[in-house]
Chain A
Amino acid sequence: MKTFEYFKPNTIEEVSLKLLEYGDSKILNGGTDLIVALNEGRSCPSIVVDIKGIEKLKEISYCEDNGLTVGACTTLNDMMNNRYVIGNYKILAEAAHTVGSCQVRNRATMVGNITNASPLADTATPLLILDAFVKIFGPGGEREISIHDFFISVRKTCLKAGEVVVGIRIPAYKEILGLYQKHARRDAVDLATVCASIAKIDGDIRIALGSVAPTPIRCRRTEEYLRDKDLTEIVIEEAANLALDEASPIDDVRASRVHRQDIIKVLVKRGLKELVI
């Protein structure tokens, strides 16, 4: 029978202690993944630690030195409607807008989206190209790690025992041009078959792809190739081929490997063409 303890502390320290105390714990944030998993019996924790009682995790702030900080419990709808996000990180707002339905986004959070560590997480690819930092609280206090070190594999992050993600920090940039693209079976309320964030950030082209490898990926070699190049048709074609090399998509119930490969090229080309002035 499905039984577990439920704990809703007011401080992050208590969360960490409970996580250490119980090995098989789950954090309840928006709950849009966890509750479904509990209901379906895919997750059977002995304790569920609800972090929504910690007020400061709901904060979202911006300053030019540190950039944008989004607390773990900020809902996707609150985040994508925040004026700093719309003004300075539009690509993130666009990606967040494609997660689930409006009802889901009223509860779901970006931190939940990435700690779930799904290869197709919509907010992961913008965070990768924005070189975001993951703020973690644990037994050793608070630390910040690069988003590039966060994802380990499918549904696996680098979080250690007693650690909890308290927020995401995105550095400030002068200019971000580009867009988030999502190819899915259906335009609304669907998971990405392939998704891509492609943007020119303070002059450098950056490319990240989702649902093409065990984790969302940055296409570093493609970016290297594009450095200081004019985006001619030939260059764009070559970049698309390079990005394809960096990806390792699989067959699953949503699409075949071949289809994902086709779409990777289309999204990379379209994303780069957007950057041609």
Chain B
Amino acid sequence: MRYIGESINRVDGIRKVTGALKYVDDIKLSRMLYAAVKRSPYPHAKLLKVDISKAEKLPGVKAVITGKDVANRVGLYLEDKTFLATDRIRYRGEGVAAVAAESKEIALAAIGLIEVEYEELPAVTNAVEGLKKDAPLVHPDMKEYKWGPIFFPEPGTNISNHYKIRKGDVEKGFAEAEFIVENEFFVPHIQHCPIETHSVIAQRDPDESLTIWSTCQSPYAVQKALSVAFNLPLNKVRVLSPAVGGGFGGKAGTTLEGIVIPLAMKTNGRPVKLTYTREDEFINSFVRQGLHATIKTGINKNGKIVAVKNTFIWDGGAYTEYGVNIVRAGGYASTGPYDVPNVWTDSICVYTNHPVGGPYRGFGMSEIHFAIEQNIDMLAKKLDINPVEIRRINGLRPGGKNATGQVVDVCGLQDCLEDVVKKLDWENSIKQSPSKPNRVVGRGISCAYKAPSMPNNVASSAIIKINDDGTAHLMVSAQDIGQGSDTVLTQIASEVLSIPPNRITIKTGDTDHTPYEWQTVASRITYCTGNAVIKACEDAKEQLLGLAQLKLGIEKDKLYLKDGYINSDTQPQKKIAINELALGLSLEDGSGIHGPIIGRGSFIPPGVKNTDKQTGQGEKPVAFWTYGCQGVEIEVDTETGKIEVLKVASSFDVGKIINPQLIEGQIEGGIIQGLGSAIFEELIISKGVVLNPNFVDYKIPTADDMPEMIISFIENEEPTGPFGARGVGEPCMVPTAPAIANAVNDALGIRIMSLPITPEKILRALKEK
């Protein structure tokens, strides 16, 4: 292969490093207005009255809206939210009104003039408490909501999804077990912290069509949500996502667009912009859901896990339109990458009066693996076998069965495990001595798996048009959110068409001009959109070969593309350049046929089917699984409790590497994000109030915290993947935090059962030891 497997430089690189790329907040339109949002100071309250009369009278104010202007309920999987509160406040910071004015300052002043009457209600500030019978209800009207058929809300409670796995007979399994252990873990809310905060501009044209510039991962999902919310046909809603400065899931779905549009409806064609502050980003976009996990595991004397009973209680926050699917993913993946014959899982999404939980890189997997991978180390200790061995015994292999009963087809988990063991010289070396006094060294390992957590039938499409000079434009609506999809998709097109990447320009993110893509989420773009691009390019190629057959007089099936020419082995002297056919074929009599070459490709993951509603069992519930393993070496200061992560070895089975340089960068990013969640990150929430919505008191890693990273790959090709590739963008973050937690145990003999693993928790555990 010519382009697949090559470290092509990022096609968007020059624009990004020179600062030439225009993000939404860089866009300044003529006569633009600025929006501001009035937000609730209470986490749970009845909204009695919103008086906007004084704000409306302030000079410079052009529009003021309240919940009445955005009354339609929307949501990706469960329609449970309105863009502004209508009658009830469900988290502190929820919008109750919004203003568009000539300047940000006027908009903020107008917000101060809006008078709101609330009646404060008792709040649900803990998901476990929220399950109790006498808990206040966050959504008393749940029975009126609409939701997808694969979700199981329980109206009259705070449960917005109860996903079950019932595989085998757990009680029988526990009866056969030599040891049974039960452990509880807690994972707090964290935030994505993209360098670019959310930003939207909306403008209504005189013909009633709407244009929205949004820093979003999924222009088509935004378009659909807005169409539902405002009763607009899709052909009148244009969503552009010009560039995304980091997504990590936080810019999936729809957040602030629905506040700006109703303002723009009232400003007589003047565009309205709203850019979130960092504090908004922490509180009023998405956060990662909290998780209370209880795992009961039975193991026999040979180290084989025979039964697992999981209770995952997720703190979904005020709205779980997206979160219900995270809970589903956490359910069907609830054993981790292990072969367990008897499984009972309850994965429960609970409404709380906390910030809105939503997609975050890893989509439930980072959370459950923190529990699963520590639990399995604890089992190993019980049997006095080492952490590698217990994973060798129980880790999934081809032919095995996962939690949903699906038979495992391609799976390099054991290869990844051995790879990491080798890279860290796990079994031969003596632990190195610490670099300073009062420090101890620890090593930890963690496996991980993840599937794209998406509805079965999500669609992708691509268009490729060949230009007069043999260059091409590739059009997709997959968004490059930093993961490198622009480059990878271009490489895929280059490979099929033999046109070098610098002669193909990729265009993304414009629902008027680029074709449908469900969402840029779920580590699905290389796989799904990559397949659509292959199909589009094959379609264009078919057209080119058909014309070349006429021109060259050689049968189509003897022709192939190479270096921008259509060639054959039978008559190598006869060849024709792609550009000569780009606009159609000119015949000898001067007439022409066919016209411009435009290839189109559509893709839906094949054969992904619903699982059984009662048992969660099914033959193919997901498009594919990505497996991997990471091992870490850390040093802990036993007096201050501080952790330094020295080294991380990572190995994932990615099927086929499309771009070595980019995939390595993606893994590095995942490791650092995992490290941040392991030792720094937590939204500290007290009585519904986030106490640290800023980088002063919410810490993410700096360059100084980067460990040595040893990154390698296994390539067992994915049968339905483009050139055998599968996604890895999220999976690479999943094992980092549990591996660090296991290393803390190795170093100090203590178990920290909640994230983040702070110096304070370590010192407390050492004292209790």
Contact = CB atoms under 8 A, between A and B. Distances in A.
Interface of A: 1-2, 183, 185-191, 253-256, 258-259, 262-263, 266, 270
A266 B438 CA distance: 11
A141 to B, nearest CB: 38
Contact of B109 (A1, A188, A253): A1
**5 closest residue pairs by CB, A with B:** A188-B704, A259-B760, A266-B639, A188-B702, A186-B699
Contacts of B684: 253
A253 B640 contact: no
A42 to B, nearest CB: 12
A2 B104 CA distance: 11
6 contacts: A1-B109, A185-B758, A187-B705, A188-B704, A188-B705, A270-B639
Nearest to A36: B696
B759 interface: yes
B118 interface: no
B696 A191 contact: yes
B697 interface: yes
A190 B705 CA distance: 13
Interface string B676-692: 00001000100000011
Nearest to A265: B639
Nearest to A186: B699
A222 to B, nearest CB: 19
Contacts of A1: 105-106, 108-109
Nearest to A41: B108
Contacts of B696: 191
A189 B760 contact: no
B383 interface: no
Contacts of A2: 105
A256 B702 contact: no
Given A190-B699, A266-B639, 17 more contacts: A1-B105, A1-B106, A1-B109, A183-B640, A183-B642, A183-B759, A186-B699, A186-B701, A186-B702, A187-B702, A188-B702, A188-B704, A188-B705, A253-B692, A256-B760, A259-B760, A270-B639
Interface string B743-769: 000000000000000111001100000
Nearest to B642: A183
Interface of B: 105-106, 108-109, 639-640, 642, 680, 684, 691-692, 696-697, 699, 701-705, 758-760, 763-764
A262 B764 CA distance: 10
Contacts of B705: 186-188
Contacts of B640: 183, 263, 266
A191 B699 CA distance: 11
B680 A186 contact: yes
A228 to B, nearest CB: 28
Given A1-B105, A1-B106, A266-B640, A185 B763 contact: no
B680 A185 contact: yes
Given A187-B704, A189-B702, A259 B763 contact: yes
Contacts of B760: 255-256, 259
Contacts of A254: 697
Output the residue of B105, B642, B705, B760 with the most chain A CB within 10 A.
Answer: B760
A185 B699 contact: yes
B106 A259 contact: no
Nearest to B692: A253
Given A188-B702, A254-B697, A262 B680 contact: no
A186 B691 CA distance: 18
A266 B763 CA distance: 12
Contacts of B108: 1
Given A187-B704, A266-B640, A259 B759 contact: yes
Contacts of A189: 702
Contacts of B639: 266, 270
A186 B639 CA distance: 16
Contacts of A188: 702-705
Contacts of A256: 760
Nearest to B109: A1
A270 B439 CA distance: 14
Contact of B763 (A186, A187, A253, A262): A262
A189 B703 CA distance: 11
Contacts of A185: 680, 699, 758-759
A253 B692 CA distance: 7
A2 B703 CA distance: 36
Contacts of B691: 253
Given A185-B758, A186-B702, A259-B763, A253 B680 contact: no
A270 B438 CA distance: 11
A254 B760 CA distance: 10
A101 B357 CA distance: 32
A258 B764 CA distance: 9
A270 B639 CA distance: 10
A263 B638 CA distance: 11
Nearest to A2: B105
Nearest to B758: A185
